[in-house]
Amino acid sequence: MIVFRVCNPKYANNISGENARKQTTNRWNSFGTPMLYTSDSPALCAVEIHQYVPPTFTPLQYALLAIEIPTCKPLLIDEEFFEEANCIMDLATTQAMGDYFINENEFLVLKVPSAMITACWNFLINPNHKDFKKVTIKNVLAFPLGGKLFKK
């Protein structure tokens, strides 16, 4: 399966999950837990980035990574869970779920609905899993984030 990630070009060859480990406000992992965030489309990547930038943000040139995940059964948290529990916006809940996924180390991939567009999917990859070495970058392209999405 091919998934996508948008990042600063200087990190385009780094899919270790270390950037997520160093942040405190990630939706699916707490500080200190590595995780590689990817999405089902480049468009969802752009929308996901948009939620974190201030209104005065001037888009930088980003890199779009096409990442291949080996065939595997993902751990699925579907949108129905969040409709009933109404907790996709509760970082304590989602971070605990993501940390559990990483710590149990049973699955390579956690498939979750995007908090921004619940009909789309994020694929969270466990860098500690034995099959992580099979996760590969297939392509890196320039990914400008200009246009109407970032108009002031």
The HSE-up count of residue 54 (CA atoms within 13 Å, CB side) is 2
Determine the pLDDT at residue 135: 98
Q: Which residues pair with 66 in a beta bridge?
A: 4, 139
Which pLDDT score, from 0 to 100, does residue 50 have?
Answer: 72
What predicted TM-score, i.e. pTM, was given to this entire model? 0.89
Residues facing residue 68 across a β-bridge = 2, 136
Lowest mean pLDDT among 19-28, 40-49, 76-85: 76-85
Q: What is the pLDDT of residues 119-131, one digit of tens each?
A: 899 999 999 999 9
Q: What is the pLDDT of residues 62-91, one digit of tens each?
A: 899 999 999 999 999 887 777 766 666 778
146 has pLDDT over 80: no
Per the structure, the complete domain to which residue 8 belongs is given by: 2-150
Q: What is the pLDDT of residue 31?
A: 96
Please give the tally of structural domains in the chain. Answer: 1
